[in-house]
Amino acid sequence: MQNIQVPVSVIIPCYRCANTIVRAVESINNQTMKPIEVILVEDCSEDDTIKTLLNLQRTYSENWIKVIELPKNSGPSTARNIGWETATQPYIAFLDADDSWHPQKIEIQYTWMRKHPNAILTGNKYKIIHQQDNPTHPMLIDIQNPKLVKDCHLLFSNRFSTSTVMLRSDINLHFNKAQKYSEDFLLWLKICLNKNSCYYFNNDLAFAYKSTFGEGGLSAQLWLIEKGELQNYQTVYKEGLINIFQFIFFSMFSFVKFLRRYIVVKLRSN
């Protein structure tokens, strides 16, 4: 099964990721069903990222790995959108450069979505792994059908970490390149609230190497992330996807969650 390729394009925005991108690409190469193409979008890094990407391209072949160099740093939304526009396959999977996948991720999601063409987007659980760990990922046997994610479920909480998402490439929605924080959540909200079917696998098919909140990168900036989430509710309200009562309720609920996260992070740092 290792040599089977399926019509999936994997998109990875790459910014100062020379120390992690090799692990991410290896996890794609180790898939039981491999994507037809991997698109690495280099977002004008100042380190050795581009050199590492070109080495990966030579290692795995230019036919499989495409490297796109952006002329200026534009952020992950623009990088993902450009990768999306470049993609040639009917399904798109996103992976962050500092995350990795279970070997069966593409097989599980693609096989199920192919059998259920009404599904526009699927995601899954992910597991946080400590950097010093060297985990093994045994093959999964007990794989249950994914659950439909209803509008209210997603409004309460972002169920889809970006590195878990596979979606149909022909959907007429993209990331908001003007938004720097929680822009992925906004896209999932728009997809779901526009009456597209979104599903969630209750299996750990992706792996992160830092906590979602309070460690490194964008996730350290809790208030900016919260502002992005509040902006999301305002955007979907202005577009008529939720009513005024939903806007007020979910905005307040989000702020309460933010306060809880902030307290947890502060206690952890003391």
Res 36 pLDDT > 60: yes
Q: What is the DSSP string of 182-251?
A: SHHHHHHHHHHHTT-EEEEEEEEEEEESS-SSSSSGGGG-HHHHHHHHHHHHHHHHHTTSS-HHHHHHHH
List the domain boundaries for the chain.
5-209, 212-270
Q: How confident is the model at residue 212 (pLDDT cuts 50, 70, 90)?
A: low
pLDDT of residue 210: 75
Q: Quote the mean pLDDT of the chain.
A: 91
- Residue 132 pLDDT exceeds 60: no
When computed from its CA atoms, the radius of gyration of the chain, rounded to whole angstroms, is 18
What's the pTM value of the predicted model, to 2 decimals?
A: 0.91
Name the more confident of 263 and 42: 42
The pLDDT of residue 242 is 97
Mean pLDDT to the nearest integer, 230-241: 97
Q: How far is it, in rounded angstroms, from Cα 202 to Cα 125?
A: 6
Instruction: Give the model's pLDDT for residue 211.
Output: 60
Q: Look at residue 218 in the predicted model and tell me its pLDDT.
A: 41
Q: Which top CATH class is 5-209? A: alpha beta
For the segment 155-202, what is each residue's pLDDT rounded down to a tens digit? 999 999 999 999 999 999 999 999 989 999 999 999 999 999 999 999
